[in-house]
Amino acid sequence: MNADCSGSEREANWRTKARRGAFRAVLVSAVMAAVFSAVTACGDEKDQQPTDAAVVQTRSGPVRGTVTADERAFSGIPYAAPPVGELRWKPPAAPAVWSAERDATKPGAECLQPEDAGRLTGSEDCLFLNVWTPSGAADRKRPVLVWIHGGAFTTGSGSLYNPARLVRTGDMVVVTINYRLGALGFLGHPAVAHEDGQVGNFGLLDQQAALRWVRDNIAAFGGDPAKVTIAGESAGAMSVCDHLVSPASDRLFHGAILQSGPCEMQTDRQTAVAKSEEYSATIGCPDADAAAVARCLRAVPAEQVAATPLHFTGEAGVGLPSPSYGQPLLPDDPMVAFRDGKAAKVPVLIGVNRDEYTYFVAGQTITAQQYPDLLKMFGPQADAVTAQYPLDRYAQPELAWSAVMTDHVFACPIADNTKSLTRTGPVYAYEFADPDAAPLPGLPSPPPFPLGAAHGFELPYLFDLDRTPSPATSAQQALSDKMIRYWSAFVHTGDPNANGLPHWPRHTGDQSLVLHPDTATTTNIHETHHCALWTQIPTP
C-alpha cells in the first residue's frame, strides 16, 4: 500500500475508513500500519537503521554478527570471490551477492599455509575480513584501523588478532583481513600474468580489494571511510610500505603504521619471473606455451602448491615470497621511492623492536667458533662488523649474532625509511624495548637465552592473541595501556599525542620514543644500532 507523507491527508483517510463500521476494523489497522511505515520512511536516514545491532547491511547483503556490552564483532565477511579454479592466480573478483542474513559470528577460513610438522591448514577460499566496532558504533562515524597481518607472506590470518582493547579504549572501528599467501599469493609466472601484463602480487591486490571494501561498506558499521589508517607488523608492515607507493592504493587510506617492517626485502620483476618459472617446473608445470602452463598451474592441487611455497628473496639463509616492483602496481622499490619523496602524503607511525632477531635465533645453537664464520657473509666489511660487535661483549654467541642481524636487517633499514618518510608527511618513530616481554607461541620454552624485545613481542600490548600471555606486571600493563592510547590517538588525528601521555616528539632528526615499562625517554636509533656502519653494507 502506498502512502505519502502528508499528515492531514492521512488523518482524513483514517477517519473516513473508521466510519465504515466495526467490520472494517482489521482493514483500518492495516492502513494505520502502512501509514506509520510511510512516516518512518520520510524521516531522517538515521531512523532507518535496523533496530537489531547485530545486523548490518553491506553492499553484498546483510550480515549478522555478535553483540556484547562493549563491542560488536562481524567475522568471516567475504570481500572478494573465492580465488579458486579459473580464478586462481587472477586479481580478486567481486564477491557474490546474497539476500538472506549471512552468519558473521565466526571467522572464515584462513588462507592455505604450512603448519607444524609439515601439515597444511586453511583453504584457497579465504578472502574474508572481520569488523570490530564499539557497541552502538553506528550512531556516529568513527575512525578506522585496517590491520594487515604478518607471517613472512606464508602464514597468518586476520582472525588471530583480537582488537577488543583497541576498539574499546580507542573508540574506533578495526578491520582485520586475510590475503593470499605463499605461491598462491605471489607467484610471478608470466603464464598467469594479469591482463595488463603485470605478474605476481596477488596478495597485494587482495589487500587493495579489502581496502576498497572498507571504503564502500564501513560507514554501515559506523566507520568513517574518510579516516582510514592502514597498519601492519613484519610482512604486514612491508605491505604497508608497498601501499604507500602503489598508485592503486592512492586515497584508500589516510595514515599508516609500520611495525618492524624489513621493507628492503622486496624483489624486482625480473627476479620474480625467473624464480617463478623455476618454481613452476618443480610442481610439474615445466616451460611450454603460456596457455598450457596456465592450465597446468591451475590444475595442480592446492596442497601441492602450498607445500613448497615460493621464495623470491633471502637473507642469511632465510627466504620469503616478496612482493615485486618494477611494474604498474608497484612501480618502484619502496625504499628508493621513499628517498625520492614518492610516498603517499599521509602521517606515519613507524618503529622497531630493540632485539628483533633473537626471535629467529632462539631455536639455533651458535658456537664461539662459528660466529666469525657467520660474519664472513659481510665480505670486506667483516672485520669492521667484528670490531663493532665483539663476541666478548655478549653473554652468548647467539646474542652477538642477534645484535648484528637486528641492526642490519631491521633497525637501520627502518631508520632509513623513517628519515625518508619525513619528506612526505609527519612521522612519529618508536623503539619497543621491554626486556621482559613474553615470548610468542612456537619458541622454545623456556628460551635458551633472554630474548628481550624480540620480533613481534609488542603485539600482545595491542591485541589479544591466542595462546599468548597478555602483559603480566603492572608496569607492563601500564605500557600496554599507553601504547593503545598512542595508537588510538594516531588513528583519530594523525598524531599519537594525547592528554595524560608522555610527549611523543615528531621525528625531525633522529629521535624515537622508547616504549619501556619503567622509563619514558627517547633514543637515537641511528646511533644505538650502529647504522653508520650498516649504511656501508648492502642487505644481502
CA distance linking residue 346 with residue 494, whole number of Å: 8
Q: Angle at which helices 269-282 and 290-299 pack, to 10 degrees?
A: 60
Catalytic residue among 233, 356, 431, 458: 356
60, 75, 159, 234: which one is catalytic? Answer: 234
CA distance 114 to 309: 9
Residue with cell 619528506: 423
Reference 326, options 511, 201, 467; nearest CA is 201
Give the integer Cα–Cα distance in Å for 271 and 501.
Answer: 46
Determine which one of 149, 455, 492, 529 is catalytic.
Answer: 455
Asked about 455 being catalytic, the answer comes back as yes
Q: How far apart are alpha carbons 414 and 437 in whole angstroms? A: 21
| Separation between Cα atoms, residue 38 and residue 427, nearest integer Å | 52
CA distance 182 to 310: 6
Nearest-angstrom CA–CA distance, 359 and 279: 28
Active-site annotation holds for 356: yes
Distance linking the first and last C-alpha atoms of the chain: 73
The C-alpha cell at 444 is: 622454545
Taking a C-beta distance cutoff of 8 angstroms, is the pair 338, 421 a contact? yes
* Nine cell digits for residue 6: 502528508
Strands 520-524 and 511-515: antiparallel
217-233-304-94 Cα dihedral, nearest 10 degrees: 10
Kindly report the CA angle at 139 between 135 and 143, in degrees rounded to 5?
A: 80
512 noted as active-site residue: no
- Kindly state the DSSP code that residue 72 receives in the 8-state scheme: E
Greatest distance between any 2 Cα atoms in the chain: 105
Burial code (b: 16+ CB inside 10 Å, e: under 16) for 344-371 equals bebbbbbbbbbbbbbbbbbeeebeeeeb
- The DSSP secondary structure of 441-484, one letter per residue, reads TTS-SS-SS---S-TTTTGGGTSEETT-PPP-SHHHHHHHHHHH
- Nearest 5°: phi and psi at 299? -95, -15
Distance of CA 472 to the CA centre of its chain: 26
Q: At what angle do helices 202-217 and 235-245 cross, to 10 degrees?
A: 70
DSSP string computed for 323-373? -EESBTTB-S-HHHHHHTT-S-SS-EEEEEETTTTHHHHTT----TTHHHH
CA distance 113 to 156: 8
Could you tell me if 300 and 285 are in contact, meaning their C-beta atoms sit under 8 angstroms apart? yes
Question: Which of the residues are catalytic?
Answer: 234, 356, 455
